Chain A
Amino acid sequence: MSDPGRGVSLEEQIDQWRSYLRRRQAIHSVDVAELEDHLREQVAVLVDAGLATDEAFLVAVKRMGDLDALSREFAREHSDRLWKQLVVVPSDSGDPRARARTDAIVAFCLAVAAAVVIKVPALFGIQLDQDAGFYARNLSLFVLPLLTGYFVWKRRLDTSTLRWLAVAFVAAAVFANVYPFAPGGYTEALTALHLPIALWLVVGIAYAGGRWSQVGGRMDFIRFSGELFIYYVLIALGGGVLTAFMAMTFQSIGIDVEPFFESWLLPCGAVGAVVVASWLVEAKQSVIENMAPVLTRLFTPLFAALLVTFLLTLVFTGRGVDIERDMLIVFDLLLVLVLGLLLYSVSARDPGAPPGAFDVMQVVLVVSALLADAVALWAISARISELGFTPNRVAALGMNVILLVNLAWSAVLYVRFLRGGGPFTRLERWQTDYLPVYAVWAAIVVLVFPPVFGFV
């Protein structure tokens, strides 16, 4: 290869140095290119000063500094890149493989515990098919405390935080069960829907493990939530295929597995999968980095096109928005979806990158969603007194306002960023600061709505 008399050529040495640098997760290839340019210039200057090439290379590398210290500095600055190696817990406890195994065992035990816990009420005669209301209200309480426990263990949270988390769960359990809900009523359904949202914040505080007050910590929780969702959907699909084959094979020998599926496999699998999916996210933090940008890039233009077409059709045909019972919920879901697209493109975006065409597309999406929602709100506000304030309508309206405020201010921040009036990090900060608002609103729906509306 190289002439042994002259040693390794400069290019080879730089190649080696570059590949060594690339192994650091905190240092991306653009940074390597920047550092390499620096190294080459330093070498050239030293060679001009009379040093031999290999001496010059050694001096230049030495001046660049210790690579461990350098990658730590890069990691501190680009904490989003650390999502993959997560430095929340210092890696002090010995062998990483032994730690991974302990982690897997704890997660598996907690998943089994969740599966057992959901069957415990059955011992006291509360059956899934007869007391659906009880299970709907308490569903999040069967699994989220165990998930929180997992993060408490993993992040080694201190006891004072732990106490607050426990208080939150106990309070949730009390309010979900002491209110005299009318069976199958609106407020019971609202509690079942909103309690998980409120408690998800509790999980987030445990997940962030002391970093909740930092934008980076909350952003990691957003990434975690998205990734968990993707994993959960994948597990659910796999479970569906498994169940289908189980049903078919047993049917061939004349055994009906449906009762087993309904009362055991589905509930136990559904709650256990939450813990397993969380563990998978922790163990392999790399899906969202690939999935979220792809999904948002794919669907942002499509949804933007849909909304713009909808608005144009509305304007040119002059049709009014039909006030159906579920119309507000449809628009709520639309805003949630747009927010999700925004949130996951924000979380995956390099905050340092300059504005691009995709950012313009994102603004078009958000603004058209705001306009569509404004049309719907205007239509319903004209008839709200005539339709009456049912709990569902008030909850949907409240959610709508919360999402509208978030998206409107996001649009303002995004437009400012596009016009060069502020860094992208403002938008990140706004999104992460807004997280508690959803939880507080959900808590209000759970705590205040049932008594106000008479538990109907």
Chain B
Amino acid sequence: MSDTSRVVQIFLKRPMIRVALVLSVLSVLVASHLRITLSRLGDASSNLRVITQEAWPPDFSVVTDRASWAYPPCELQTDWMCSPAVVGMTQTLEIAFLATILGMVLSLPLAAASATNLAPPLMAQSIRQLLAALRVLPSLIWALIFVILVGIGPLAGVLAMTMYSVGYLGKLQYEALEGVSREPLEVARTMGLPRWQVARFFAIPEAANSLLSQMLFMFEYNVRHGSVVGLVGAGGIGWYMQYYLEPFKLYDRVLALIIVMYVVVIAIDQVSLRIRRRFIEDEPMRPKWKQVFLPWTDG
């Protein structure tokens, strides 16, 4: 056997190499089925050059100039407070906030009724199916549905994000409730308490830190997705982006809005991460909200 064929054999014996080869072949086949060709990537690069030229430098007048066409109308006197960036981002945050609160209020009882350690098996399975059905549609599709039902504006965004939050939070919550220690629940059952009291006074307080952490995570998620649902008319900063994209193609203003959104989302992620860390880490005492929002008052 020649040295080359021996090297190839040794090479092919490695499981990682074999997996990589199979995945490469599959990728080429799938790309060919989707008619993805390198020439089309070449077209993309020329389009990218055009967009970059038109988008750079970003036009930050979206942060300073009044958006007289804002919906709902902005009645503040200061121009920058009624600018597309401030109005749009505020709406996105408001939509995310309302959707998270509504989602939490609706999902918590559903989660308790679908946790197998708290609810009868048939009820738990039925409600899990309902929660799964709510998660099947992404928030963008929910937004399309609610724009048709209630018209363009933030209400459609709030309803769309609420639907998705219920499905998503519900799943996280029933998993957290199923993870609580068995013993407090057995104490409650021995007392003869009904299921709802076992959930309300024993399981939910026991899982409170996880539930609060999940709610903050959902808020983060809703802020990020709040910008997407705006693209189909469900309010928020995405709606203002869409206004500049179609029909004006003002890419420099869109880029400025994207930068504003990026800064806000990163800031919220960081704040939320710090708050969540205080809930999920095994600390001897539950953190107080005062300590969370005013950390300099510690001690």
Binding partners A and B: no
Which residues in A have some Cβ–Cβ distance to B below 8 Å?
none
